[in-house]
A and B are shown apart, each in its own frame.
Chain A
Amino acid sequence: MAKLQSGNGVQRGTVESLAEHESSSLGSDSELNGFTEIQTDKYGFIGGAQQSTGENDNIPPDVLRQREAKWLDMLNSWDKWMLSVSLISLKVKLRCQKGIPPSLRGRAWLYLSGGKVKKEQNQGKFQELDSQPGDPKWLDVIERDLHRQFPFHEMFVARGGHGQQDLFRVLKAYTLHRPEEGYCQAQAPIAAVLLMHMPAEDAFWGLVQICEKYLPGYYSAGLEAIQLDGEILFALLKRVAPVAHRHLKKYKIDPILYMTEWFMCAFSRTLPWASVLRMWDMFFCEGVKIVFRVGLVLLKCMLGSQEKLKACQGQYETMELLRSIEPRYMQEAFLVQEVIELPVSERDIEKEHLFQLRRWKETNGELHCKSPPRMHGAKAIIAAEPPSRQDLKQNPTIIVEVPQTTESKMEKGKKAKSKMQKKTDMKNTSPPLNPYPLPSDPALVSDTLAPSESQHLQGSNQSLSSTENDTYL
């Protein structure tokens, strides 16, 4: 449990109004009304439907330490693990299915997605994009969306706070990176989830990989790719849950009506948070197949038997049912198990893709938007663009600068002791620089947040969620 200080100078979102909204899920958490300290769950949520109930999700510490050691080892020789043809790479998949340790999740996602390699091969690119003003057409839309992404997460609750600033930077950078694509509203939650786990530059490359490798075309004009995937999902459902398929067909419920948000946001706005993270662990490793499987499992659970269908005879009733999925079907352990067991392969999806594409062309003509081919997961991505060892080297994300005075002292010939000296100096004389200094901090006011904070969004160099100091090992 982390505590979040309110009234710290950064303008807080309207917590009271948030508390009012979805008050049922907040229960009796009266602390939200005007008190200065707010309890967050272990993921940083202060409320909302996705807040953890903390029931089922505790892995024993020794198991977690073991997993961390395994993951560190794996990340340190990533190319060997990923490029091997043997069973070794199967192990990566199994470990993703078990869940990536929270402390390494950000780094693992970046490595799995190939974002790490992209970042190293394009050094300075993000900084370059970040320094450009951007197209006002997109900036306007992005700015209007900033406070509407996970408003219950401590990182995004404050208007103009560091989370929202970084979100702006990442989304703006993408519109400059792909000016022909621009910005789609569904990219914002994706970028926000990434930002909860990594600094802005990494989140940018993660977003690039999702938009171009994992879900190409999802955010492009015309939204043809998402409609095609809707048809693919529906076709796969016929095999997985014929009863559900018949029902949806009977009431002419187009897949677009229920799967748009699911797929475009990779379930980040649908599932409880523990499940979102587990699902994303598998998604980064195995690709879009996981998104399809989650969709199929939910449809099967909700509409899979005649009994269940009795209560939803009609289009609207069915839509309502699919918008309020029973919590037990979304619960972490249940959902992950079902998703792993569901026999829907990459091949099934590709086969259906070809078939649906042909059908699409027959009725709608050629696709307007030519997207790059979809890559099914981490192995395909790394195989397509093999990295050098240098690209996979882990660099420290946060470098604490030694204060000026110490440096000049060292220059005066105390270099011999430097290592020890540095450590003690840091401990004794000056605290590490806070990447998110508060505007009330007099030393830092001038170059961080302008008084009119929201007008002039200029982010910090590193993103660091206060609850997750240990994320960037």
Chain B
Amino acid sequence: MSGGAELGFTEHLFKVLVIGDHKVGKTSFVKRYVKNQFYEELKTTIGVDFSMKVIDWDSHTRVRLQLWDIAGQERLRGLNRVFFKRSSGALVVYDMTNGSTLDGALNWKHELDSQVMLKNGRPIPAVLLANKCDETKVCRRNASLLEKLCQEKGFIGWFQTSAKENINVDEAAKFLVKHILQNNEESVKEEEQNMQINLKQQSKSNSTCC
């Protein structure tokens, strides 16, 4: 989704999902990223919450990021089909202090891939976030495990983050946006090529006609 270009200035609008098991810190991550604030007590998300972050990417690109913070409880997933529609990327969050939420994150990724994909059929870019890293440390063995998981499950990368201590929050989001922008450029190019092919075909068929 891109806005009109004016004097070489482009504005993009991307929908990014924030998903993962309940209580892993999705809402906290979003609040830190958008408002640069951290709250100890946040109410549970029922359904979906929305936030917007505007990023001046470079002198001629502005990105408007719509963050869809989706309820984590398994019971509430019946609605995901609606929430996932037309999203450009995802932040898949798990809680480093709660191992089972990593399995949860992989399930979320699986569900994501089964419901949304890019126009060219590839999965939408997703970053794995190991949140609450202020409370524990990733040892080297874990790091290589996460690396391997990313490759196997098709994440574009992973970050240890802490919404509380503001660690890697911007970096992780930036990494995702970079990939979304790349995908966007590629798909624009592909479209242009397709158009050219179409035009050529048209002109060919035109010439034979005449």
Chain A: residues with CB nearer than 8 A to chain B? 13-14, 17-18, 20-21, 141, 144-145, 147-149, 151, 182-186, 188, 219, 221-224, 226-227, 254, 256-257, 260-261, 264-265, 269, 316, 319-320, 323
Contacts and interface: CB of A to CB of B under 8 A. Distances in A.
B26 interface: no
Interface string B59-86: 0000000100001010110110011000
B22 interface: yes
14 contacts: A17-B39, A17-B40, A21-B39, A21-B42, A148-B42, A148-B43, A151-B43, A185-B76, A188-B44, A223-B76, A223-B79, A256-B83, A316-B52, A320-B52
Contacts of A257: 47-48, 82-83
B9 to A, nearest CB: 20
Of A183, A221, A223, A227, most buried by chain B (CB within 10 Å of CB) is A223
Interface string B74-103: 011011001100000000000000000000
B75 A219 contact: yes
Interface of B: 22-23, 37, 39-44, 46-48, 50, 52, 66, 71, 73, 75-76, 78-79, 82-83
A323 B69 CA distance: 14
B147 to A, nearest CB: 29
Given A185-B73, A222-B78, A227-B79, A260 B41 contact: no
Contact of B50 (A17, A149, A227, A319): A319
Given A144-B22, A260-B47, A316-B66, A184 B76 contact: yes
Nearest to B43: A148
A406 B152 CA distance: 74
B41 A256 contact: no
A21 B41 CA distance: 9
Nearest to A258: B47
B73 A260 contact: no
A217 B180 CA distance: 38
B104 to A, nearest CB: 12
B57 to A, nearest CB: 19
Nearest to B49: A323
B79 A260 contact: yes
Contact of A269 (B42, B43, B50, B83): B43
A323 B23 CA distance: 22
Contact of B46 (A221, A224, A264): A264
Nearest to B15: A316
Contacts of A260: 46-48, 79
A184 B41 contact: no
Given A184-B73, A257-B48, A316-B52, 19 more contacts: A14-B40, A18-B41, A141-B73, A144-B22, A147-B41, A148-B43, A183-B75, A185-B71, A186-B46, A221-B75, A221-B78, A224-B78, A227-B78, A254-B82, A256-B47, A260-B46, A260-B48, A261-B47, A264-B46
B76 A256 contact: no
A222 B42 CA distance: 25
Contacts of B73: 141, 184-185
Contacts of B83: 256-257
B82 A184 contact: no
B210 to A, nearest CB: 43
A13 B71 contact: no
B43 to A, nearest CB: 5
Contacts of B23: 144-145
A291 B188 CA distance: 46
B42 A184 contact: no
Nearest to A322: B50
A316 B48 CA distance: 12
Contacts of B76: 184-186, 223
A182 B75 CA distance: 9
B51 to A, nearest CB: 10
B39 A20 contact: yes
B116 to A, nearest CB: 15
Contacts of B22: 141, 144, 185
B44 A145 contact: yes
Contacts of B52: 316, 320
Nearest to B40: A17
A149 B39 contact: no
Contacts of A261: 46-47
Contact of A320 (B40, B44, B48, B50): B50
Contacts of B78: 221-224, 227
Contacts of B37: 20
- 7 closest A-B pairs by beta carbon, nearest first, are A260-B47, A223-B78, A17-B40, A261-B46, A151-B41, A222-B78, A184-B75
A145 B79 CA distance: 20
A107 B138 CA distance: 53
Contacts of B39: 17, 20-21
Contacts of A183: 75
A21 B52 CA distance: 19
A427 B40 CA distance: 44
B44 to A, nearest CB: 5
Nearest to A255: B82
Contacts of A141: 22, 73
A195 B39 CA distance: 25
- Most chain A beta carbons < 10 A, residue from B40, B46, B48, B73: B46
A53 B48 CA distance: 28
Contacts of B50: 316, 319-320, 323
Given A316-B66, A320-B50, A148 B41 contact: yes
A226 to B, nearest CB: 8
A256 B43 contact: no
A142 to B, nearest CB: 11
A17 B44 CA distance: 17
Contacts of B48: 257, 260
A458 B23 CA distance: 23
Question: Chain B CB within 10 Å — which of A151, A184, A256 has the most?
Answer: A256
Interface centre among A20, A144, A260, A269 (most CB of B within 10 A): A260
A269 B46 contact: yes
Contact of A148 (B44, B75, B82): B44
